[in-house]
Structure 1
Amino acid sequence: MAFDISIEAQDGTGSFGAYVARPKTDANAPVIIAIQEIFGVNAGMREICDTLADQGYIAICPDLFWRHKPGIELTDKTDAELQQAFDLFGSFDMAKGIEDLKATYETAKTLPGSTGRVGAVGYCLGGFLAYMVACNQLADATVSYYGVSIESTLQEADNIASPLMLHIAKKDQFVSPEAQEKIHTGLGTNKFVSLYSYDADHAFARPNGNHYDSDCATLANKRTADFFAAHLK
């Protein structure tokens, strides 16, 4: 796909693209960084950005797989694509991903039309990275959908200094009940954190995904919309 903007990597190794969706109004708006799943900046992520733009935000979705290959775009519809996505996840450098999100954050603050307020929302891999964005204080408000491996980095939560909302799937095949319990125990008393659990599988809010759950997605997305309206506008 053709990306809308290019962002310089902080390590000087190159630049990466990002999809940008803008609201129809000419008024300045907060920016929300949409953080990809293991499928790249695909149609689902662009749809999420377009929805955020309809809600009055500038949405930016950086291509975090660019160090493998720019413009990777997969779905969950075929075994071959799923295998490729899991392979990418297995070889993904989390530290470099967070570094690229730092560069995205700096770009987001100064995008034309930006108010300087920046939020972030992530899904799956992006759900974990969204949690790390909050831990690294790279957003004014952050939402994580079914983030994987959050329970292994709970020691980072002491650094959270802005509102964070987590949507957790009770039937998540990639986040065990034990891991979910650790997340609730580790974050439940943090004054910045709101936790919500849903009777659904992983990726219940993925547009047109195999495990999409309309009722749970609608509720979670409404909570997300209200959360960003309260903390970014």
Structure 2
Amino acid sequence: MQIIQHSEDLATATGTMRNYIYRPASEQRYPAIVFYSEIFQHTAPIARSAAIMASHGFVVIVPEVFHELNPIGTVLGYDDEGKDKGNNDKWQKPLTSYDSDLDAIIEHCKAVPYCTGAVGAMGVCLGGHLAYRAAINPAVASAYCLYATDIHSDTLPASDADQSFNRMADIQGEVYFVWGKQDPHVPAEGRLKIYQQCVASGLNYQWQEVNAVHAFMRDEGERYDGALALQIYQQAVQFFQRTLLS
């Protein structure tokens, strides 16, 4: 399936947010996936991931997660400078601001002629957390969360009641977690804490742990596992076909 790509600037409660949209080159309507990036924003690997998912019949929307803190179009490098800037941005932005960003995206999906109105979320690293966080919104039917950081540690800016870990019982849709067993950012004790909360909260979830390090989906650098990434893309497509097309 061939796709097209364009951008849309949306008004949010905290300012203008650029969104990069990948969608089938067709006049049909398709379900949307909000694809949350790492701290580096809309990098080339994120763009390629979004394109892969879009080519399976989805409108994939990649928001600039730190739009309040950077000029529109900012992309951080996969180096120490980019990592430090991205982490500083992550620690400055309240979790509730991501919620209002999502509200703007959902309204956009309702208004444009190329979306069915069904919405899911997917993300990597910080984006895995934000995909999980998105599922708290009842308009989001499902979330596919790859090595989601900071859920277990409650380290992102929010009140105790608003920490994502403590909001799990509010999720009505289905969540699919994928973790790397060798990921130091979400160690075994952190994964166990989240798993126990899944059970205790009654969440509709799937759980998968793989032999991989952090950022194994990123097709730049030595962490990339292409064979595993291909498997994960296939699982994600099947997951969203089931949860967004039914």
Q: TM-score, normalised to structure 1's length?
A: 0.90
Query: Residue 73 of structure 2 aligns to which amino acid in structure 1?
Result: G
| 1:144-159 mapped onto 2 (5 Å cutoff) | 144-151=145-152, 152=154, 153-159=164-170
Alignment deviations for residues 109-135 of structure 1 (CA, whole Å, 9 cap, x no partner): 322211111111011111111111112
Give unmatched runs, 5+ long, in structure 2: 155-163
Specify whether residues 73 and 130 from structure 1 end up closer, same or farther in structure 2 by C-alpha distance, changes over 3 A only. same
Q: Is the 8 A contact 2:214 2:223 kept in 1?
A: yes
Q: CA deviation at 1:25?
A: 2.7
1:120 aligns with 121
Supply the distance in 1 between the matched residues of 2:127 and 2:36 (Cα, whole angstroms). 5
| 1:142-221 mapped onto 2 (5 Å cutoff) | 142-151=143-152, 152=154, 153-188=164-199, 190-221=202-233
Percent pairwise identity: 27
1:131 aligns with 132
Structure 1 runs (4+) greater than 3 angstroms displaced: 188-191
1:71 aligns with 73
Query: Residue 6 of structure 1 aligns to which amino acid in structure 2?
Result: D
Q: TM-score, normalised to structure 2's length?
A: 0.86
Supply the distance in 1 between the matched residues of 2:98 and 2:177 (Cα, whole angstroms). 20
Supply the distance in 1 between the matched residues of 2:117 and 2:243 (Cα, whole angstroms). 13
Specify whether residues 102 and 219 from structure 1 end up closer, same or farther in structure 2 by C-alpha distance, changes over 3 A only. same
Secondary structure of the corresponding residue to residue 165 of structure 1: strand
Q: CA deviation at 1:188?
A: 4.1
Corresponding position: 1:6 with 2:9: yes
Supply the distance in 2 between the matched residues of 1:146 and 1:138 (Cα, whole angstroms). 23
Specify whether residues 183 and 199 from structure 1 end up closer, same or farther in structure 2 by C-alpha distance, changes over 3 A only. same
CA RMSD of aligned residues (A): 1.9
Q: Is the 8 A contact 2:15 2:68 kept in 1?
A: no
Q: CA deviation at 1:48?
A: 1.7
Higher strand share: 2
Q: CA deviation at 1:3?
A: 6.4
Specify whether residues 106 and 24 from structure 1 end up closer, same or farther in structure 2 by C-alpha distance, changes over 3 A only. same
Supply the distance in 1 between the matched residues of 2:178 and 2:91 (Cα, whole angstroms). 23
Q: CA deviation at 1:226?
A: 0.7
Supply the distance in 2 between the matched residues of 1:81 and 1:154 (Cα, whole angstroms). 27
Q: Is the 8 A contact 1:109 1:118 kept in 2?
A: no
Secondary structure of the corresponding residue to residue 140 of structure 1: strand
Q: CA deviation at 1:193?
A: 0.7
Specify whether residues 170 and 188 from structure 1 end up closer, same or farther in structure 2 by C-alpha distance, changes over 3 A only. farther
| 1:41-120 mapped onto 2 (5 Å cutoff) | 41-69=42-70, 70-76=72-78, 78-120=79-121
Alignment deviations for residues 77-135 of structure 1 (CA, whole Å, 9 cap, x no partner): x3222222222223233221222122112212322211111111011111111111112
Query: Residue 71 of structure 1 aligns to which amino acid in structure 2?
Result: G
Supply the distance in 1 between the matched residues of 2:130 and 2:54 (Cα, whole angstroms). 22
Query: Residue 27 of structure 1 aligns to which amino acid in structure 2?
Result: Q
Query: Residue 179 of structure 1 aligns to which amino acid in structure 2?
Result: G
Q: Is the 8 A contact 2:219 2:226 kept in 1?
A: no
Corresponding position: 1:228 with 2:243: no
Query: Residue 145 of structure 1 aligns to which amino acid in structure 2?
Result: L
Q: Is the 8 A contact 1:188 1:195 kept in 2?
A: no
Give unmatched runs, 5+ long, in structure 1: none
